[in-house]
C-alpha cells in the first residue's frame, strides 16, 4: 500500500504562540505536537529554530519528583 502524501503547512502566528505558551508551561513535545496537529519532529524543529527548549528531561524530572513525594 502506498504511503499517504504529506502536505506541508506553514506555521501561523497562532501556532507559534501556542508552541511558546505550552513550552513555557513545560508541556512535553508530544503533547504540544498533538495540540498543534503536527508531528513531534516538526514541533521540535520549529522550537529549535525559534530558540525554545523542549527538553524532555524537564517533564521526566517533574514526574519523578511527584512519584517520590507520593511514596513519602
The per-residue pLDDT for 63 is 56
The per-residue pLDDT for 2 is 74
pLDDT in tens, the chain (72 residues): 677 777 889 999 999 999 999 999 989 899 999 999 999 999 999 999 999 888 765 555 555 565 666 666
What's the grid cell of residue 68?
517520590
The per-residue pLDDT for 30 is 92
The per-residue pLDDT for 56 is 63
**Among 25, 29, 27, which residue's Cα sits nearest to residue 47?**
29
Amino acid at each position: 500500500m502506498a504511503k499517504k502524501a504529506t502536505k506541508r503547512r506553514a506555521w501561523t502566528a497562532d501556532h507559534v504562540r501556542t508552541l511558546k505558551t505550552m513550552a513555557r508551561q513545560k508541556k512535553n513535545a508530544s503533547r504540544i505536537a498533538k495540540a498543534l496537529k503536527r508531528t513531534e519532529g516538526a514541533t521540535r524543529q520549529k522550537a529549535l529554530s525559534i530558540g525554545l527548549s523542549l527538553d524532555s528531561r524537564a517533564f521526566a524530572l517533574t514526574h519523578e519528583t511527584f512519584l517520590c513525594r507520593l511514596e513519602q
